Amino acid sequence: MANLPDATSVIVLPPDAQNLPMDFDLEQFMGAWYVTHSTLPLWKTKKDVSITYTPRLRSSTQQPPQFDDVVRYRSTSDHSTSELHRVVGVDTLLLPPGPQGAHSPRFKWRGKGWLIIASSRWQILGLGGGGSSPGWALTYFEKTLFTPAGLDIYARSPEGLPANLVHDIIDKTRALGGDVGKLAEEFFEVVRSPSTDGNCCS
């Protein structure tokens, strides 16, 4: 991530922000993320939630970037070694007018298979870490016919994030005020199975 704030300088932006204080590198955003905290009710009965993003080949440079989106999770009643459930979709980068990188990264998700009729829009409100600092991201999901608007905190590590970093992310999200600030009051920790090898959620 080019010019990415480190973990000690948490920056959280409101939805649809412009003039970002950081560069966004989609390629470096790819890979596995672990959902550590959320306001979305569906995760209250789930555990070991992870999301893996994998870039898709483009037929031309005129086509907006797309990437596969695989969500894995267990129900809270499942054993920690039980098979993970999967939800598979495709994300498309929504390219706003104006200079690239001037707006917060926004995406449209569409389900695959029996979920092909389902779609949602989401964006990245904060991003940090890398190197020796814990990698994290804050994502915002717009309301759909089936789900309320919500926020997720992601960690690069299945072990999650330091408590002080989580508190800082949540505090700065509250400080945005408005609907997102209210949502931040509803954050809860997503359950994660104990693991000594980091493979509970792969």
Q: In the predicted model, what is the mean pLDDT of residues 28-47?
A: 97
Average pLDDT (190-201) is 71
Q: Is residue 8 part of a domain?
A: no
Strand-pair category, 31-38 with 133-141: unpaired
Q: In this model, does residue 2 exceed pLDDT 60?
A: no
Residue 39 lies in a domain: yes
Instruction: Give the burial string for 6-24 (b: 16+ CB within 10 Å, else e).
Output: ebeebbbbbbebeebebeb
Percent of the chain at pLDDT above 90? 64
Q: Is residue 196 part of a domain?
A: no
pLDDT digits (tens, 9 = 90+) for 70-91: 999 999 999 999 999 999 999 9
Show the CA angle centred on residue 15, arms to residues 163 and 72, nearest 5°: 55
pTM of the model: 0.87
The phi and psi torsions of 100 (rounded to 5 degrees) equal -65, 135
Name the band, by pLDDT with cuts 50, 70 and 90, for residue 63. confident
Q: Is the pLDDT of residue 55 over 50?
A: yes
pLDDT of res. 1: 37
How far from chain centre, in Å, is Cα 3?
A: 19
Backbone torsions φ then ψ of 107, nearest 5 degrees: -140, 155
Q: Is residue 201 part of a domain?
A: no
Whether 119 is covered by a domain: the verdict is yes
Tell me if 54 is assigned to some domain. Answer: yes
Query: How many domains does the chain divide into?
Result: 1
| Residue 183 CB contacts under 8 Å (≥ 6 apart), including other chains | 39, 149, 150, 151, 173
Q: Which sign does the torsion angle of CA 112, 115, 119, 123 carry? A: negative
Domain ranges, residue 106? 26-189
**Structure-block tokens of residue 49:** 């939630």
Tens-digit pLDDT profile for residues 95-139:
765 555 556 789 998 877 656 556 789 999 999 987 777 899 999
Please check whether residue 160 is in contact with residue 34, taking contact to mean a CB–CB distance below 8 angstroms: yes
The vertex-24 CA angle with 23 and 25, nearest 5°, equals 120
**Tell me, what's the pLDDT at 88?**
93
Does residue 12 register a pLDDT over 70? yes
The answer to whether position 128 is within a domain reads yes
For 184, phi and psi rounded to 5 degrees? -60, -20
Task: Tell me the CATH number at 77.
Answer: 2.40.128.20
Residue 58 domain-assigned (yes or no): yes
- In a 10 Å sphere around its CB, with 0-12 CB exposed, 13-18 middle and 19+ buried, how is residue 111 labelled? middle
